[in-house]
Amino acid sequence: MDANLKDFILMLADNNMILGQRLGEWCGHGPVLEQDIALTNIALDLIGEARTYYQYLAEKEGKAEDDYPMLRSERAFKNVLLVEQPNGHWGQTIVRQFLFDCWHYFHLEAMVESKDATLAAIAEKSIKEARYHLTFSGEWMIRLGDGTEESHEKMQASLNDLMPFFDEMFDPASYEVACINQQISPDLSSIHSKAIAKVQSVVSEATLDLPTDYFARKGGKTGLHSEYLGHILSEMQYLQRAYPGATW
Amino acid sequence: MSPNYSLEANFQNRIDNEEKIEPRDWMPDAYRKTLVRQISQHAHSEIVGMLPEGNWISRAPSLRRKLALLAKIQDEAGHGLYLYSAAETLGTSRSEMIDLLHAGKAKYSSIFNYPALSWADMGTIGWLVDGAAIVNQVALTRTSFGPYSRAMVRICKEESFHQRQGFDILYTMSQGTEAQKEMVQDAVNRWWWPSLMMFGPTDKDSPNSAQSVKWKIKRLSNDELRQKFIDMTVPQAAVLGVTLPDPNIKFNEKTGHYDFGEINWEEFYQVIAGNGPCNKERLAARIKAHEAGQWVRDAATAYAEKQQQKKSISVA
């Protein structure tokens, strides 16, 4: 398989995988039962989507789907820095989710036209879920931004903290450029326009201020991660690493 | 009907005729109280029961298992929701019930005060704990209170799926490496006796049972349910190739049931009294989630009120 295509698929897979893993930490600890269920639902969708990408790679490379999430080390992961950020409080999780959903939804919308038929089919299937995620996180942005004084402050602080991780999703890594040239990946600037318009409209309805003066953080897409990822992987990969070759 | 035919006699008559009691029907206060206690305890068990399994989501050994575990725990949250709703039809709100749990005044199934120490525990909880829950809940589908009975019908379908899933985890491991087989045996050793305790004290020590049976809230006694579970489970243990940690388990030709050894009731009462391995952690986790979520619930309420005001202004 073409190395650029492989890295591109890994980026898509790892984004969903790591965010799904993070959301799984909430299960049983949500602020109210209904929202516990809703967040677990999103985790299920994201890990489910990640799994379809890993299966695609596994089939092409004659490996097992679990080899990718369970047996690669930190530097081989291609997810953006945003998704590995800690859950924090519910509001931080919502802001992280909303920023991700703005990329995820519009990216999938464009991926439906990908020249890679498998990726296009995965996008077709996943976009319905991503649309629901965006509605969910957008509604919570507004509810908490325009809720109480306390919730407003918490949301503003979370937005300020996480906005620096937004741009990475739209800044093409070298493997993406190659895939853009082959029309496997969409052009990211048009997705950025749609995503930022959505961010602006929701942030404004949430009565929050969109930070613009920040230093954009990047590196995850090319394997340069925060310290958080190592801890995520040591939990996630524990059994596969401790008992090599076992079937579960 | 005689003019002094009392409400209470009429109520018992309906129960005896296998009619379901619905929330708006007249019922004795004690019947209502017993049901709120039992259904809320059941709901709390679903919610607290999410914790030992939640402990393994991040470490599930494959994506398939991780998705199945997440979905299972999500089902438990859903069961909690139906059950709280069923109890709410009797006039007690969900938040009142949750406050009682956090104050240590409402109970939940003691089984969840045991720790989940290895991946085999995910299989064993499914196989034994859900297995025991099913035996109990299948009997409850015939309980006299309509909303509880209907919630049970729905819950039982999902629980049997969970139980098969648990069995499948153990079966896969039992076909695997020596280390995996040891994990399975160790998990079964730890969960077997607590699973038997899930049915509660023996009939002679269960003071609530007689009235509950008369009202058909309970359809079978603790000992009858426990025996059913043991009879169902012993042959399954043989398929898994595990030894149940009770040398006295033996098929009794005369009774047609399996005999079994003495349950350590001292341990049961200690765990109920709050001295189990994880009582403090379980309750602390629930209280922490609830308190950390307070600002979120407040904000949601404030936002909804603002929207309501906007609506009424625009209507005016």
Q: What is the pLDDT of residues B259-272, one digit of tens each?
A: 999 999 999 999 99
pLDDT band at B3 (very low <50, low <70, confident <90, very high): very low
Give the 3-state secondary structure of A190-230. Answer: HHHHHHHHHHHHHHHHCCCCCCCCCCCCCCHHHCCCCCHHH
Q: pLDDT for A151-193, tens place per residue?
A: 999 999 999 999 999 999 999 999 999 999 999 999 999 999 9
Q: Is the pLDDT of residue B99 over 70?
A: yes
Q: How far is B258 from chain A (nearest CA, A)?
A: 32
| Interface residue B59 vs chain A (CB under 8 A) | yes
Q: What is the pLDDT of residue B2?
A: 52
CA distance B160 to B158: 6
Considering only the beta carbons, identify the residue of B63, B70, B77 that sits closest to A51. Answer: B63
Q: State how far residue B120 is from chain A, nearest Cα, in angstroms.
A: 10
* B contact test, residue of A49, A143, A240 with most B CBs within 10 A: A143
Interface size, chain A vs chain B, as Cβ–Cβ contacts under 8 Å: 141
pLDDT at B208 over 90: no
Number of domains chain A contains: 1
- Cβ within 8 Å, pair B302-A36: no
Amino acid code (one letter) for A167: D
Of B240, B312, B268, B242, nearest in space to B109 by CA = B268
**Cβ <8 Å between B77 and A36:** yes
CB contact under 8 A, B63 and A147: no
B250: β partners:
B259
Under DSSP, the state recorded for B57 is G
Whether A181 maps to a domain, the answer reads yes
Domain assignment present for residue A183? The answer is yes
Q: Which of residues 173-232 of B touch A (CB under 8 A)?
A: 173, 175-177, 179-180
Binned at pLDDT 50, 70 and 90, residue B313 comes out as: confident
For chain B, give the longest Cα–Cα distance.
80
- Tell me if chain A has a CB within 8 Å of the CB of B66: yes
Is A247 contained in some domain?
no
Residues B275 and A193: their CA atoms lie apart, in Å, by 58
Partners of residue B259 on adjacent β-strands: B250
pTM, entire model: 0.96
CATH number at residue A123: 1.20.1260.10
E-strand stretches of chain B: 250-252, 257-259
Tokens of A25: 């930490």
Confidence check: pLDDT of B315 > 90: no
**Tokens 């450029």 belong to which residue?**
A177
Residue A176 covered by a domain: yes
Q: Determine the residue of chain A that is closest to B62 in CA distance.
A: A66
Averaged pLDDT, B149-161? 92
Q: Which tokens belong to B31?
A: 């019947």
- To probe the interface with B, which of A14, A18, A26, A33 has the most B CB atoms within 10 Å? A33
For the question of an ipTM over 0.95, the answer is: yes
Q: Is the pLDDT of residue B101 over 80?
A: yes
What the block records as the tokens of B301 is: 């309420």
Whether residue B4 is predicted with pLDDT greater than 70 in this model: the reply is no
Whether A11 is covered by a domain: the verdict is yes
A88-137 pLDDT, tens digit per residue, is 999 999 999 999 999 999 999 999 999 999 999 999 999 999 999 999 99
**Residue A177 within a domain:** yes
Domain that holds residue A149: 3-242
CB–CB of B175 and A35 under 8 A? no
Is residue A213 situated within a structural domain? yes
Question: Of all helices (H) and strands (E), which one includes residue B252?
Answer: strand B250-252
Place of tokens 């599930």: B60
> According to the model, what pLDDT value does residue A50 have?
98
Note whether residue A248 is domain-resident. no
pLDDT of residue B314: 81
Predicted confidence at residue B120, as pLDDT, reads: 98
Please give the DSSP secondary-structure letter assigned to residue B21: B
